[in-house]
Structure 1
Amino acid sequence: MTNEVTRTGGDVARTDSENTRDSGPIFRPATDIFEKGDMVTVVIDMPGVTPDSVDVSLENRALTVRGTFNAPAPEGYRRIYAEYAPGTFERAFSLPDTIDAGAIDAVHRDGVLTLTLKKSEAAKPKQIKVKAA
């Protein structure tokens, strides 16, 4: 069966395949990227995601972030309507050669994942001393 992806609202993609039908919607989390000196910081909103359900991987300069969450009904209640269903946050980024792939740090706190990416030594600006001839 072919996977069909339907965009709903721009930030949510619903994949209607047999393999993903039970896993819920796939959300594209809001992301901010900052640069300071030799560091790049990526801040990704992932509400409801616990640190142990976050997966950050790097393959061929492609950085992929995934986090699954569950929105259980309060104890003793049954869900009759939901706009915030269990699902997955997913985002992928292509890293430039200027980023040191071995120096990526990930911290998850209060539903926000912060990635700190260090620039490689070769990418850092260098001052060249001019000698008098």
Structure 2
Amino acid sequence: MLLTSIDPFIQEFERQFDRLARQANAQGNGATMPMDGLRRADDVVLRFDLPGVDPDSIEVTVDRGVLSVTARREEEYEQEERLFVRERVMGSFTRRVYLSEHLDANAIEAAYNNGVLAVRIPVLEQAKPRKVTIQRTAESHKAIKS
């Protein structure tokens, strides 16, 4: 059995994640920025793994509905040190996420702690779930006027 979600936020993030994963595999550079996306009642939180990254090298920008996270990890070695294994990717990392029109791109907040960058994006008021009041009348079919 296959379970799917009808939440448009989750569907959009999954679509973008799949597209970016395909691009990263095609480039074969191995420079990745793993991300978790959480949808809550009032906001969306994105968490990016950036271990060993200097917080001053992290830049979060929003331009025309695209959130971009850029970071740089570098390590210098002494002249007498000889590197014989390199598995940790160094250099620049960039991750782009297309934001839904239901998110407030003007109120984004970001914080970096213990190698994880958390980006909070509030949901616009009109996009939040709301309860619809049901009118009770003797003639319920006449309660709603066309």
Question: With structure 1 as the length reference, what TM-score do the two structures score?
Answer: 0.73
Q: How many residues are aligned here?
A: 114
Residue 80 of structure 1: which of 77, 80, 83 is its match? 83
**1:104 counterpart residue number:** 108
Establish whether residue 130 from structure 1 lines up as the match of residue 145 from structure 2.
no
Larger Rg: 2
Deviation at 1:13, TM superposition (A): 4.7
Task: Please tell me whether the aligned partners of residues 102 and 124 of structure 2 are also in contact (alpha carbons under 8 angstroms).
Answer: yes
Identical-pair percentage: 29
CA deviation after TM superposition for structure 1 residue 83, in Å: 3.2
Secondary structure at 1:52's aligned position in 2?
helix
Q: How many angstroms does 1:11 deviate by?
A: 9.2
Supply the distance in 1 between the matched residues of 2:99 and 2:90 (Cα, whole angstroms).
Answer: 29
Answer 1 or 2: which has greater helix percent.
Answer: 2
Q: 1:50 to 1:97 in 2, by over 3 A?
A: same
Report the counterpart of residue 25 of structure 2 in structure 1.
Answer: 10
Over 3 Å counting, the alpha-carbon distance change for 1:13 and 1:56 in structure 2 is: farther
Q: Does the 8 Å CA contact 1:71/1:85 hold for their aligned counterparts?
A: no
**Aligned position for 1:95:** 99
Instruction: Please state how far the C-alpha of 1:100 moved relative to its aligned partner.
Output: 0.5
CA distance in structure 2 between the partners assigned to 1:116 and 1:122 by the alignment? 18
Which residue, 45, 57, 60 being the options, matches 1:56? 60
Question: Gapped runs of 5+ residues in structure 2?
Answer: 1-21, 138-146
Displacement after TM superposition at 1:41 (Å): 0.9
1:113 & 1:11 partners in 2: Cα distance?
26
Distance 1:42 1:12, change over 3 A: farther
Structure 1 unmatched ranges of 5 or more:
1-6, 15-25
Q: How far apart, in 2, do the equivalents of 1:77 and 1:36 lie?
A: 51
